[in-house]
Amino acid sequence: MNYRHSFHAGNSADVVKHSLLIALVRALQLKESALTLIDTHAGCGLYDLQGEEAGRTGEAAQGVLRAFADPSPLLIDYRAAVEAVNSGAEPYLYPGSPRILAQLLRPQDSLILNEKHPEDAHTLRVAMRGTPAAVHERDAYEFWLAMLPPRTPRGVVVVDPPYEQTDERTRITATLAAAHRKWAHGVTVIWYPLKDRAAHQRWKEQLRRLGIPKLLWVEHWLYDSDQPGIYNGAGLFIINPPYAFTQTLPPLLQSLRTALAPEGHKGEIAADWLSG
C-alpha cells in the first residue's frame, strides 16, 4: 500500500507512533551518555493540516485533534511536541518525526535524517532550519546500514517508509538482519501500516525467524475485523527497548486507546514480545 506521510499527517497512527517515540527517547535519556538519533525515511518534517493533501483525507480529526481533546496526563508530552510548532488552541501544523526528535535533543545528542525524494528532501531541509540536524538524500536501506554503528555508544534508528514498493517488507527484513549483525545492542523502531491480518502475521513470522532476542511489537487495530481495501491501523516493531520504556508502556497504551477508539468499534491496542 502507498502511505505518503503528507496525506495522513496527524492521524491516529501518528499519535501512537509519536507518543511512543517520545516515551522511548525519554527513557533512553535517563542515562547521561550521548544518543545518535537516525531517521531513514524522514519525509518533509512539517505538515500543513489544512493543506490540500492532509485536507483531502481529514484523518487528523480522528487523531491529533482527539488527543488534544483528551485530558489524559500521559499524553502531555505528545501534546507539547505538537504545540511547539503551533500557536493557538487547535493545531494547524503537524511535526513529523524529524521535528519531534529535534525537540528531544540534549546538547550531547545528535540527529541524522535521510529522505530520498528530492522535493521532500528540499522541504525537509527548510523545515529543519535552526536545528542541528544533518540531512542526507540517499537510498534509505543503504543509509540505514551505512550509519551503523553510530559514533556514540547508544542510538535509535527510526524506519518509517511509505510502503510504496511491493518489496518494502522484504527489504526491511533483510536490512534489519544485517543491521542487527553490525549493531546487536542498538535500538531500532520500525513503523508499519495494518491492513490484512493474515499477511501481517506472515511478516511477523519472517521477523521472528531472525532470532533477535528483544523484539517488541505494538499494534493499534482500529476495527474489530479486516475490511477489504481499508486501512485498519498501524504498529511498531521496537528492537531492544529499554526497561524504563516497557514499564511505562501499558498505561500509555490504555490512554491512547481511550483517546483514539473509533465510535462503534472496539478494536484493540496491544503489545508483546515477538521472540526472546
How far apart CA 113 and CA 97 sit, in angstroms, is: 10
Peptide bond into 149 cis (omega under 30): yes
User: Helix, strand, or coil here: 180?
Assistant: helix
Q: Which residue has the cell 503528507?
A: 6
Closest to 163 measured CA to CA, from 172, 154, 155: 172
How far apart CA 115 and CA 85 sit, in angstroms, is: 21
Closest to 39 measured CA to CA, from 252, 191, 206: 191
- Grid coordinates representing 174 are 533483510
- Alpha-carbon separation of residue 199 from 196, 215, 233, 265 (angstroms): 6, 19, 14, 22
Catalytic residue among 14, 77, 160, 272: 160
In sequence order, the β-bridge partners of residue 215 are 239, 275
- Cα 1 from chain centroid (whole Å): 17
Q: Are strands 233-239 and 134-136 parallel, antiparallel or unpaired?
A: unpaired
Q: Is 160 a catalytic residue?
A: yes
Q: Which residues are catalytic, by number?
A: 160
